[in-house]
Amino acid sequence: MTLDLPFIFLVLMALAILAYVVLDGFDIGVGILLPFAARSDHDIMVASIGPFWDANETWLVMGVGVLLVAFPRAHGVILPALYIPVALMLTALIIRGVAYELRNKASGWHQELWNRLFSFGSLAMAIAQGYMLARVITGFPAGGWQVAFAALVGLGLAGGYALLGATWLVIKMEGELQRRALRWSRAAAMLAALGVVAISLATPLASPRIVEKWFAWPVMLWLSPLPLLTTAAFIGIWRQLVRLESGASRREWLPFVLAVWIFVLSYCGLGYSLYPYLVVDAMTFRQAAASDASLFFVFVGAMLVLPLVIAYTVLSYRVFWGKAKALTYGE
For the entire predicted model, the pTM comes to 0.91
Q: Where are the domains of the chain?
A: 16-319
pLDDT tens digits along 291-313: 988 999 889 988 888 888 888 88
pLDDT tens digits along 308-328: 888 888 888 888 887 777 655
What distance in Å separates the CA atoms of residue 179 and residue 96, rounded to the nearest whole number?
26
CA distances from 49 to 27, 100, 172, 192, 202 (A): 6, 11, 10, 21, 34
pLDDT tens digits along 179-211: 999 999 999 999 899 888 887 877 777 678 878
Report the chain's mean pLDDT, rounded to a whole number: 87
Whether the Cβ atoms of residue 220 and residue 283 lie closer than 8 Å to each other? no
pLDDT, mean of residues 218-241:
90
pLDDT tens digits along 82-100: 888 999 999 999 999 899 8
Whether the Cβ atoms of residue 102 and residue 73 lie closer than 8 Å to each other? no
Whether the Cβ atoms of residue 46 and residue 324 lie closer than 8 Å to each other? no
For residue 280, what pLDDT is reported?
81
Helix 175-205 / helix 144-172 crossing angle, nearest 10 deg: 150
Whether the Cβ atoms of residue 11 and residue 145 lie closer than 8 Å to each other? no
Which residue, 328, 12, 324, 15, is CA-closest to 171? Answer: 324
For residue 217, what pLDDT is reported?
80
